[in-house]
Structure 1
Amino acid sequence: MHGLKAWRAFILLSACAHLLPASSRVLYRPAAGNRPPQISIKGELVQADLEAFTAIAETARQEAVTFMASRGTSTPPPGMGFVNVALDSRGGNIWAAMSIGRIIRRYSFATRVEVGASCVSACVYLLAAGQGRYVGGRVGVHRPHLQNDGVTSARAEKAQYASINAQTRQYLEEMNLPTSLHVRMMQTPSDRVTWLSAQDLSTYGLTRMIPPSPRPAVP
């Protein structure tokens, strides 16, 4: 019964996908062969991405259970996650990022920044949420950007920044990452990017090494 529900949900999502522009930020690839389901998040993160991801995540989770059961196992194949979330984004809405991140962690999805991809700014909160994390591309951090509307007082802006500072620190603690990562973020001005080295990624706990996905065979 659950398999039927998941299949119906997948058909609905697939039908909706054809109505969306080609630049859709949240894309779904169902399980195929030895590959578990994958959700891709590309481009600038906006609030609508949270709604799209929430809808897709449950379908992916259900399909992953069926996928694992069909292989007679409850663990992902080597080099894979239960569901892989592929990231290629230069950031965006930090609140949407943290909300999506909590879904990723709740469902024990794995996060990946493949070779050639970048994960910058708010995207790092998605990467941090992965139960397993692989980075083959670039990861960059900086302080969250505050939009100055010309009306907000300096005092209100300071209070807003303090709130963001506290909530992002708490989020990274939820993900069991060291305070030093938050400090590094806050030390980098919002108009600059600090690119993290392989050693940085390891030190900050942003890589729990999962081998890269197998490349599809060339016909």
Structure 2
Amino acid sequence: MLEGWGRMRKSVSLISMLLAFVAVAGEGHAAISYQRLDGAPGERGLVIKGVFEVSDDPTQLVDEYRQYQADYISFDSPGGNVVTAISFGRAIRALNARTIQIRAMECASACAFAFAGGVERFAEPGSIGVHRVSLSDDDPMDNKLAVSSVQSLTGEIIGYLTDMGVSPNLLQLSLSIDSADIRYLTAAEMRDWNINTPENIPSPPESAPPPTAAPEVSATPAVMPPDSSHSEEAGASEPGDLTTEAVDFVNRYNDEWSKDSASALAFMRDVYADEVSFFGNPVDKDVVLKDKATFAQRWPQRIYSVKPGSVTASCAGKCEMSGVVEWFAGNRDTGKTSSGMADFSFVWNTASLQIESETGKVLTTDKGAKAPDRLIHQWTGLDDICRTSVDREGAETLPACKRRDELGPLLNRVDWCYGHKGEAEINWEWQKCDANSRRYTSK
């Protein structure tokens, strides 16, 4: 049925073509244009580039696709006009065309709707970004007309997604993300919402992680889509089951990675299987360890902490888990720091207690960050739950207290301390360590 996808499963050259295109493409965004990728027979790609504007005509796409006799369509677009993107998606469906998207190229906002037009679709986790649809600021209107326009647009989007066989949950998620922000879809969301077509879909093609994401992503955990019939939110499962163990493992992994480099790398040697699917590439464990060692040398001081409530896990002999991790890293010798947030996925073998697959993507970086604000915010939220909860032995309170007291010493590792000696506890706050600072101790 999907013979073309079968060819793509075995083809490294297709992704290599896309990555080569990324290497030479400029970063400027303009109205829609087209880039032809000419590879081996059966691997002709047509890349739709630029911002979707009202003036863009999808008949041009139809002409380009037919003249080139493309085998698939991909995107390098930050979005644009939603109605135009939907018209392109319908043109793609009329062409009976396939769509493919890799992390190294951008398909965000309205572009996600154009991608959905593919009769067969494959996108790598983290390659499709969404946020709230907004009306143009150039079109002033009274409140009643604005409400009517929003309702009409929402109805059009839902109808389109239904026609394309994509869950309206995609729209629901996009409406929850501020238009100034962006949220990249996980492997589980892509599968559960039918963004990736469900039958005979290939494994992610064998390619190296995008160079733009490699420094941070390679040091964060990550992996394959969970089975929706077993998927559990972190904390929603009964104590002692495999899902709980998986969530505990993810926290331990990041805590160990946040220790001194010798201890962290010793942990990594034991925790990976002899062969690992590492960002889509089947590699020996030594390749993974070399990657981790290089990163640890660059960033000797590190804190990696899973964002509370972000982990989903599916366990049946092996656990497939994904979530979001926040980090702060530094190098005292160079004075450099790095801070941000990434998604991750793992496949963890519960018999061997080893990782068999890892992938992920940087979601955002904090330019110029000199303080571990993300991790301090995590600690403060956990401390609020721990101190103010009425149910001191509750299912939420005890884990919050435990995680707070695990995170505090990690902040000490990057030279951030909680209060000063002789200072009243009510005045304690996180600050850069000095000679009079208090090292964190459990409350």
Q: CA deviation at 1:58?
A: 3.5
Q: Does 1:115 align with 2:103?
A: yes
**CA RMSD between the two structures:** 2.8
Q: String of CA shifts for 1:79-138, please: whole Å, max 9, x gaps.
A: xxx631111211101111011100100111111212311211100011111112121352
Residues 63 and 119 of structure 1, relative CA distance in 2, 3 Å threshold: closer
Q: Is the 8 A contact 1:37 1:84 kept in 2?
A: yes
Q: Could you list the structure 1 runs, at least 4 aligned residues long, displaced by more than 4 angstroms after superposition.
A: 210-215
Question: How do residues 149-160 of structure 1 correspond to structure 2 at under 5 angstroms?
Answer: 149=138, 151-160=140-149
Partner of 1:45: 52
Aligned counterparts of 2:86 and 2:177: Cα–Cα separation in 1? 20
Q: Is 1:144 aligned with 2:151?
A: no
CA distance in 2 between counterparts of 1:102 and 1:42 reads 17
Equivalence for 1:5: none
Relative contact order higher in (CA < 8 Å, ≥ 6 apart): 1
Whether the 8 Å contact between 1:121 and 1:140 is mirrored in structure 2 is yes
Per-residue deviation, 1:48: 3.8
| Identity among equivalent pairs (%) | 25
Aligned to 1:61: 66
SS at match of 2:116: helix
- Relative to the length of structure 2, the TM-score reads 0.36
Match of 1:200 among 157, 176, 189: 189
The 1-side partners of 2:205 and 2:71 are apart by 12
Show the counterpart of 2:116. 128
Structure 1 residues 199 and 211, CA gap change in structure 2 (3 angstroms): closer
* Alignment deviations for residues 23-82 of structure 1 (CA, whole Å, 9 cap, x no partner): 673214276531444221122111343x2x423424533653xxxxxxxxxxxxxxxxx6
Match of 1:34 among 37, 41, 54: 41
Give the 3 Å change call, closer, same or farther, for CA 213–160 of structure 1 in structure 2.
same
Which among 85, 92, 98 is matched to residue 80 of structure 2?
92
**Contact 2:162-2:168 within 8 A present in 1 as well:** yes
Instruction: Say if 1:62 and 1:147 are closer, same or farther in 2 by CA, change over 3 A.
Output: closer
Q: Show structure 1 runs of 5+ residues with no match.
A: 1-21, 65-81
| Structure 1 pair 97–150 and aligned structure 2 pair: CA distance change class (3 A) | closer
Could you say what secondary structure the match of 1:120 adopts?
coil
One-letter amino acid of the counterpart of residue 187, structure 1: S
Higher share of residues assigned helix: 1
Asked if 2 retains the 8 angstrom alpha-carbon contact of 1:121 and 1:141, the reply is yes
Give 1:186's aligned residue.
175
3-state secondary structure, aligned to 2:99: strand
* Aligned equivalent of 2:157: 168
Give the structure with the larger strand fraction: 2
Q: 1:28 to 1:114 in 2, by over 3 A?
A: same
Alignment of 1:68-79 (within 5 A): none
Deviation at 1:187, TM superposition (A): 2.4
CA–CA separation in structure 2 for the residues paired with 1:105 and 1:111: 10
Q: Give 1:212 shift.
A: 6.1
Q: Say which one has the larger Rg.
A: 2
